[in-house]
Amino acid sequence: MIEVSHIEKRFGDNVVLKDVSMTLAEGTVTALVGPSGGGKSTLLRCINLLEIPTSGTVRIGEASISFQPGKKLGWSQIQPVRRQTGMVFQNFQLFPHQTVIDNVMEGLVTVLKWRKDEARTRALALLEKVGMAHKADAWPATLSGGQQQRVAIARALAPSPRVLLCDEPTSALDPELAEEVVDVLTRLAREGTTMVMATHDLRLASRVAEHVLFLDGGLIVERGAPSRIFQTPEQERTKKFIASLSAGYSYDI
């Protein structure tokens, strides 16, 4: 189970997340939607502790950590939570000086201290899963954006995280390349991968997610199944946002 309770995040006087709570069962996919600046990406980064919440609690599996204003946390406290997450960034964040397979192996060898032959076997299996095994020895600069994002997904999956966090995984891609990434994430969802994704892509959210949370102004304004949120939202703010995204845009529920 992944649970965040009463999370608040402040940057100085700016309150980016306000008493946010959610519980995610393992094997489910949750999409965070909402306007830019609404708190989606910050919430993802608070789950894997790239951003330290000002207050509240994050629990992933048996690991739990609570936060208080002004309370300093050591690496030994952060690591048990962070190591259970994998992060896929909007702009791929591949190491340009390493080949595709070396990118996927890096965390296994450097952080988890796997033997290189074991890490290579794991990396090749994951590249096969995302349709990139044929590019194992290629450099990131020679790949399309969709290919780079698929490699980034393989890298995030390498240490077998309990939850995969995706921050706008298709927003830097044109529609055709985005479809490659949507297909990969759809397959992972069907295999039971637990995911939380921040996205403006209604196609991705409607195809992959079982639950949708609409965030605005640091608050969860509305939550429910994709079909309800995208077709019959209850809150006026949600209605306006969905209308702005879906105008002239078709997607499947």
SS3 of 193-236: the string is CCEEEECCCHHHHHHHCCEEEEEECCEEEEEECHHHHHHCCCCH
Number of domains in the chain: 2
Together in a domain, 70 and 127? no
Same domain? For 5 and 67 the reply is yes
pLDDT tens readout for residues 52-75: 999 999 999 889 999 999 888 888
Domain end call among 141, 160, 179: 160
pLDDT of residue 243: 87
d(CA 250, CA 134): 33
Residue, of 202 and 59, whose pLDDT is higher? 59
Same domain for 125 and 20: no
Query: Is the same domain home to 103 and 204?
Result: no
The pTM (predicted TM-score) of the whole model is 0.91
Residues 237 and 247 in one domain: yes
Q: What is the CATH number of the domain that holds 206?
A: 3.40.50.300
Q: Do 243 and 176 fall within a single domain?
A: yes
Helix H or strand E encompassing 107? helix 100-110
Q: Does the pLDDT of residue 253 top 80, yes or no?
A: no
Per the prediction, the chain carries an average pLDDT of 92
| Domain-ending residue, one of 117, 135, 160 | 160
* Shared-domain flag, residues 62 and 78: yes
Of all residues in the chain, what percent carry a pLDDT higher than 90? 79
Cα separation values, 228 from 210, 235, 246, 252, Å = 11, 11, 14, 13
